[in-house]
Each structure stands twice: as structure tokens, then as C-alpha cells.
Structure 1
């Protein structure tokens, strides 16, 4: 469902159950930006969540699109959006066991009542569960990745972002830190907040709209994006995090691409 910054209305239990069932779309979904996407290996499908469907009047959606890759002619269906508010420019991650899809922050439809974090149990695709972790700042353009802490469910790390009027803040500020939250999410999920090294991405620190990826060893890679002043961050230096050493910088060489915002990043095991 697409809406202009308004709260999703309450539905009956029967309607909610019906909405949770996958539905094939009769046409191609509306164009959008500010959405998030993740590939779920166990389902052989791409989940596309939220986003802004009109740049002129801030129409945002809580739509969950599912593109199954099991056929030679894949088509979109809709997954459950029950309990998920309309949002855009949030961060999203998949738990390591692929049982939970987690959305945090972003532009939302109702600042006064919408939760900060939303989790969908992919084993039943029934209803999104909302939480508002204490001391967690809503922001847009942040990155998020799952982190192994040797517990049953692990943690998520939410990195950077911009807090402004679009994300329910009374002023504009860059969030130059990384928050770690334990799973499953709750009001007490925030474990730590640690500042990013000023030189993590070279002479200019990336704070939002960067590419973020994890590899099979648990390392997190951060590249590109924009600075607190809106400048493009060069790709001549990227940030790398691991559980032993924390954040460190890695310079790149050769024909270094131009800096950019809104790009995506993936860690490939063989290239």
C-alpha cells in the first residue's frame, strides 16, 4: 500500500490473515527509490521492502515485494506488510539463519507512533513485529549488517545515517557512529554506540548513503557515500570491520572510480 505520510489503519484479524498470503501482481510494481532489497537463499527469492514511489509529494509505501528466482520467468508477488508502517530510506538486514528480516529507522508515515524497528518472521510471513529500542536514534541513509557475537541470534550493527525532519528529528545532524543491537530486538536491545574513526574512509568520513556488504567470515565493508556536508566520499579508501580489530581503513589502487551515493556493494568470494 502506498500512502502520503499517514498511519496504516487497523484491519480485522481475517483481513490481516488474508493480507499475509502471497499474491501475484497483475502488473509490474510501481517505480520506487529509497527501498531496500535482500536475497534470501532459503527461499530463492529477493525481498524488496518499502520505498518512495513519488518524488514530488513524498509518497512512501509499506509494500513488500517478493521476486522468486525459481523459474525462468520470475514474477512479483506481495509478501506480508501487516504491522509494517510506510517508510523509505531505512536500513535492512537478514539474520544469519535467514529466519528474520529486520528494518530500522528511515522516513516514516507517523513520527508520533511508528516504531523504530520492525521484524518479520520469514518462516510464516505473518506479521511484522515493531519495537523502539531505547536510546536508538531514528535516521535515514544508514547501513546495517548482521554480526556474530556467539549468541543464539547474534546482533545487528547500524552504521551512520542522517537525522533530519524527514526522519522525525527537529534538527539536522550526521550520525558518525555505529550502534550494535542484540537480537531479537526489544526496548533494551541497544548494546553499544561507538564513534567511527574520522579517517575511516580517507580525508572525508562517509556518514550516509554508502555501500555496505559482509563476507562469509563476518567482515563488513563500507565504501563511497556522502559526508556530513553532503560531499561525495572518494573510493580511494574504504572501511573494513571485523570482530577482532574493529574498524580500519584500506586504501585502494589502480583506476579508482569516482565517489558516489546510493550505490550498492556486495562481497564476492572469488573475484
Structure 2
């Protein structure tokens, strides 16, 4: 009986919450990391092509000799190719997004089948992709930070620290436009920092990003789940505790405001980040 119980325990320990073996869980992390990397490349290509298309519209023909006419003809030819390339890049981005969507919540067989489906095209990247290095190099992750990094709807990095009563690292990296989030009730949950300062084009935190960060603070604040409404307070880096045993903690009297958060709205994103970054 003890042998059977031990065998069952070992089988349970070798599987994740989704029933994936550790080997398949690692394969899924590699697969999603490579797909996301490819998708980011397609996004950059699309942005560049859209900018190129805008520049090409300003090309004008000026009667300035034969050499200019030849150069103008080349410019027109290049401009004609931009829309076609833009369509190709957009289509490829949609394909990658569909593959990423299929990998969410996939069973063991589905993960393995999806891996084989893209292996021919992305074999070299799948073999060399380092999931731990990718997690360390995430946009917005400060050196030494061992918590989660999750992108907001506008691409602003959000840091979710491990549960602690103080956090010196987050306090040091917080900047002027960054916002801190913490549940009003209970102060032992994770600190959440919306790093708006990482996106120079944003002069302040967008409302949808604030709501997303508040939902994460509620989700990782301990206790609340699903559609339960949770009151989350927020403030800037000037108003968090700067010394003592409560470094980085928000005090109700120094808050800038509150948001009624719903942790259920970010449950999938939180779970996905935990799996991709090796927390599950």
C-alpha cells in the first residue's frame, strides 16, 4: 500500500495543475516563448511598414533631369511593394496569435501536436530558446526582481512582487509616473507596480492599465477570487513607505484614490504569466 501511495504521489508531483507533465510544461513554455518572440517581430515589422507607407505617400515627381526620374521610378516601385508586404506581415501576425491562443489551456497531446506543427518552420529557435533568460530579459523587469512581469492592455509592464510586508527593490525602481496598487483590506499581499515610466509616450497611466493593475493587486492580494469586488488603493512612488520594516507599503491616508477591482477579469492572464515565467 505504501508503495502504491508513494507512486501516486510521485505521479502527482510530476504534473502541473493542468495535468501536464513537467517535460510538457517546459515544452509549452518554450513554444509560447518562441511564438511570442515571433509575434513581437511581426509587430515591429508592421509598425515600420506603416511608417514607410506614410513616407511613400509624400514622394513627388519633380522634373529635375533623367537621374531624378530614375530615382523616382525606383521609389514608386518600392512604394507599390509596401502594401503587399504589409498584408503578408499582418496575416503572419494573425497566424501567430491563433497559435498562441491554441496553446492556452492545452492538454498534453495538444501541446505536443502544436509543437510538432511549428517544428519544421521554427526548429532552430525551439531548440535554442532559453525560457529562464527570456523571463529575465522581459521588458520592464528590473535587475534582481524575481516576481511576475505582466503587460497591461497598452503594453505597460506591471510588476507583481512576491508576497511580503516590505519591498525595497520596487521602491527603488519606482519613478514619477509609476503607480502602486494594494488591497485596502489586508497588507500581506503582493505589491503591484504599474511602470508607466517605461513608456515615454505616456505622460500618465491610462485608465484601462490602472484597472488591469488593480485587478492584479486584488488577485494576488490573497483571499478574493472570481467576480468578488475588491477595493484597491493606489498612489505614486513619493507616497509609499521609504524606510523601516514596511518599505514599499501603501498607507490609506496617503493614497491618491481607489479602484473597485475584480480579480476574475485577470485570472487567465495571471495564470498564463505564472506558467510562462516558471511559477507553476
TM-score, normalising length: structure 2 = 0.28
Higher gyration radius (CA): 2
